[in-house]
């Protein structure tokens, strides 16, 4: 009894400290640029994002470290720059090059937080289940209507008849825009919002602080959202870009072979023959359609963010919850003739960032400080009172939030790789108070092959590369020196884009434990994350259920006969299989090594 009392007494300070720590609501948005009311863009309807900005700190000059989804997200979630993560491409799984990385939610888990993630936080194929206390589950909602997918099937058949390459046919998607007559929650992002709201209600009753992440897909292409958000805008009154041309004097690698990611738009059937930016801008009708769709998608996401903020208030959690909202990068809406991201320019690297810390002195203000997405990790750790890992390459923004400083750094940095005929290049961009300086290095020789310089006092849209003018030679040298004083010079070898973890190893089979009526083993999902494929070889549909460490059941999937379902699950986790009448059939307990996939075969009776 004495030992029990002593343990309780010793444990009380820890429980008290956990209870006092703030929760974190972590909201990610895909491809959202700073076209919002709170950023002064009055024709965009974003009341919920505007109220978050008004109640926290709005960062007007926040920059991603690489303007494409996977590298940007890995950089933010690890607090490290792309040259440190070695994730420069969409096709590189983070754990294949950083197996021991400790992400933001992992760090919070380590210090007593319960972490849950929904939607797109990491890149789509790899939700990184090791970062979360419960396995990630995508909502089963369509992206397009059945009519749209039917038209896509017809279009692909036409492509085959015309002899188009197989890879091109397989990449082709349905229309880039569509108006849907469905409720919000019946579409993908509304379902993600519903997942997060449901989880918030559950977490609100727990004493353990939480880190709840919700990642929304729109306004990423395709611009397919419910009708009411389209109806918010008059297409004829939407202003178009005034600089629909490539920057004068920019080197070829600035946009590269695929013209700053323009291939992405051409992967949609109604824009499959859209002309490249180097050939001139899209037609006015096309530009208006795309901008209308983009803004409708922004307003749709704004409504989902509003649901989260309203629920936080309703549950009485707002007073003890840090709210951070960010987008992985900007996006071109006709600027420089482009309709994507994937450059080192302001329009692609600058993105929204809002942080609301309860009671922060600077709440309700706009910060014009230069900040970077690698700063998010140390900032959240600092605000929550957690140790800030030494390896992080960002800077805590806490001084900006508590009003003790107006700047934390002199410049923000981004980069982008290009493969050109004369070699492989990496472009490094530095945004200072006045200038954007870009230095292109050929990676085998490490020599400068091109430079770009844009003066934001005189050219805020970055239309004229003045690096080619002789009178700026001294300025170029000074900016280059400043860049490499801050960043380590690259020493890595060029890596081809396809660097995903090897799937060559044959999966091993987990033992099947038929139900006997005995108690299940304790579910202890503390081991390495494994790639698990469940295969239903029985003659009837079965239910796939994950068991939490507390013994709670979470339904994941109905597996029809011969169906398979793949997920990353922690070693030690228990998965129960039940029939349609909720009768237990058996279970699997996950075990193995992180580099080898496993399969869980549900046998025929």
- pLDDT at residue 84, as a whole number: 96
d(CA 563, CA 586): 17
Residue 319 has pLDDT above 80, yes or no: yes
Joined tokens for residue 18: 């956990």
Integer angstrom CA distances of residue 519 from 19, 28, 556, 601: 33, 40, 21, 21
Query: Which of 34, 38, 64, 69 does the annotation list as catalytic?
Result: 69
Q: Tell whether 258 is covered by a domain.
A: no
Distance from the Cα of residue 582 to its chain's centroid: 36
Asked if the structure places residue 377 within a domain, the reply is yes
- Tell me if 194 is assigned to some domain: yes
Determine the pLDDT at residue 11: 47
CA distances from 266 to 80, 91, 171 (A): 32, 19, 10
Give the largest Cα separation in the chain, rounded.
84
pLDDT band at 497 (very low <50, low <70, confident <90, very high): low
The domain boundary residue, chosen from 343, 375, 401: 401
- Bridge partners for 325 per DSSP: 27, 354
Please indicate, yes or no, if residue 156 is contained in any of the structural domains: no
Total-model pTM: 0.84
The band of 496, judged by pLDDT with boundaries at 50, 70 and 90, is: low
- State the sign of the Cα–Cα–Cα–Cα dihedral 367, 373, 378, 382: positive
Instruction: Mark whether 123 is an active-site residue.
Output: yes
Residue 64 falls in the annotated catalytic set: no
| Token pair belonging to 424 | 């492989």
Pair 93, 187 in one domain: yes
Give per-residue pLDDT as tens, 567-588. Answer: 878 889 999 999 999 999 999 9
User: Is residue 532 located within the same domain as residue 482?
Assistant: no
CB-based contact 230:218 (threshold 8 Å): no
In 3D space, the residue among 129, 130, 147 whose CA is nearest the CA of residue 138 turns out to be: 129
SS3 212: strand
Which domain does 570 fall in, by range? 508-602
- On whether both 430 and 469 belong to a single domain, the answer is yes
Token match 């230095």: residue?
439
Q: Tell whether the model's pLDDT for residue 6 goes beyond 60.
A: no
Q: Are residues 427 and 571 in the same domain?
A: no
User: How many alpha carbons fall within 13 Å on the CB side of residue 407?
Assistant: 10
96 and 235 fall within a common domain: yes
Shared domain for 465 and 529, answered yes or no, is no
Among residues 401, 430, 445, which one ends one of the domains?
401
Residues 474 and 535 in one domain: no
Q: Which helix (H) or strand (E) holds 211?
A: strand 210-216
pLDDT digits (tens, 9 = 90+) for 530-560: 888 899 998 899 999 999 999 999 988 898 8
Instruction: Find, among 334, 287, 393, 368, the residue nearest to 40 by Cα.
Output: 368
Give, for 476, the enclosing helix (H) or strand (E).
helix 473-486
Under a CB-based contact definition with an 8 Å cutoff, are residues 529 and 568 in contact? yes
Task: Choose the catalytic residue: 123, 220, 425, 587.
Answer: 123
Residue 473 lies in a domain: yes
**What pLDDT, on a 0 to 100 scale, did the predictor assign at position 544?**
94
Assign residue 519 the CATH number of its domain: 2.60.40.780
Q: pLDDT category, 112, cuts 50, 70, 90?
A: very high
């Amino acid at each position: 009894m004495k030992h029990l009392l002593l343990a309780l007494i010793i444990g009380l300070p820890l429980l008290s400290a956990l209870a006092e720590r703030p929760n974190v609501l972590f909201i990610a948005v895909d491809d959202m640029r700073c076209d919002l009311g709170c950023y002064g863009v009055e024709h965009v309807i974003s009341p919920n994002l505007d109220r978050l900005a008004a109640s926290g700190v709005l960062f007007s000059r926040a920059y991603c470290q690489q303007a494409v989804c996977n590298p940007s997200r890995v950089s933010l979630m690890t607090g490290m720059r792309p040259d440190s993560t070695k994730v420069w491409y969409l096709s590189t799984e983070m754990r294949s090059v950083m197996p021991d990385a400790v992400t933001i939610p992992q760090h919070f888990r380590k210090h007593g937080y319960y972490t849950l993630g929904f939607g797109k936080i990491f890149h789509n194929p790899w939700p990184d289940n090791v970062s979360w206390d419960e396995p990630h589950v995508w909502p089963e909602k369509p992206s397009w209507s059945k009519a749209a997918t039917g038209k896509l099937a017809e279009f692909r058949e036409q492509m085959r008849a015309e002899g188009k390459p197989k890879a091109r046919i397989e990449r082709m998607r349905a229309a880039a825009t569509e108006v849907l007559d469905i409720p919000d929650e019946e579409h993908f992002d509304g379902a993600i919002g519903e997942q997060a709201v449901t989880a918030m209600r559950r977490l609100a009753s727990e004493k353990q602080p939480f880190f709840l992440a919700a990642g929304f897909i729109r306004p990423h292409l395709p611009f397919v959202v419910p009708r009411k958000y389209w109806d918010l805008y008059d297409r004829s009154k939407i202003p178009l870009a005034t600089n629909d041309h490539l920057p004068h004097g920019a080197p070829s690698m600035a946009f590269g072979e695929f013209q700053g990611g323009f291939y992405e738009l051409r992967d949609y059937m109604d824009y499959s023959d859209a002309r490249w930016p180097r050939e001139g801008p899209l037609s006015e009708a096309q530009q208006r359609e795309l901008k209308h769709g983009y803004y409708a998608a922004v307003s749709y996401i704004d409504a989902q963010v509003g649901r989260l903020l309203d629920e936080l208030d309703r549950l009485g959690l707002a007073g003890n919850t840090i709210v951070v909202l960010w987008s992985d990068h900007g996006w071109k809406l006709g600027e420089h003739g482009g309709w994507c991201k994937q450059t080192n320019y302001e329009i692609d690297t600058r993105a929204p960032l809002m942080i609301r810390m309860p009671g922060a002195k600077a709440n309700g203000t706009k910060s014009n400080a230069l900040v970077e997405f690698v700063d998010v990790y140390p900032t959240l750790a600092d605000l929550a009172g957690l140790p800030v890992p030494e390896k992080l390459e960002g800077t805590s923004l806490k001084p900006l939030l508590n009003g003790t400083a107006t700047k934390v750094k002199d410049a923000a940095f981004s980069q982008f790789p290009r493969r050109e005929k004369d070699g492989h290049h990496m472009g490094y961009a530095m945004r200072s108070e006045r200038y954007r300086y870009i230095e292109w290095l050929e990676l085998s020789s490490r020599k400068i092959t091109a430079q770009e310089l844009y003066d934001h006092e005189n050219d805020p849209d970055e239309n004229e590369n003045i690096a080619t003018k002789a009178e700026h030679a001294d300025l170029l040298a000074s900016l280059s020196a400043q860049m490499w004083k801050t960043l380590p010079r690259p020493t890595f070898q060029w890596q081809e884009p396809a660097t995903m973890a090897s799937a060559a190893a044959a999966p091993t089979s987990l033992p099947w434990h038929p139900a006997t009526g005995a108690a299940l083993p304790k579910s202890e999902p503390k081991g390495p994350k494994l790639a698990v494929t469940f295969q239903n070889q029985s003659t009837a549909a079965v239910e796939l259920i994950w068991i939490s460490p507390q013994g709670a059941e979470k339904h994941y999937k109905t597996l029809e006969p011969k169906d398979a379902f793949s997920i990353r699950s922690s070693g030690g986790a228990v998965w129960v299989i039940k029939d349609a009448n909720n009768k237990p059939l058996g279970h699997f307990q996950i075990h193995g090594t992180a580099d080898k996939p496993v399969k869980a075969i549900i046998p025929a009776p």
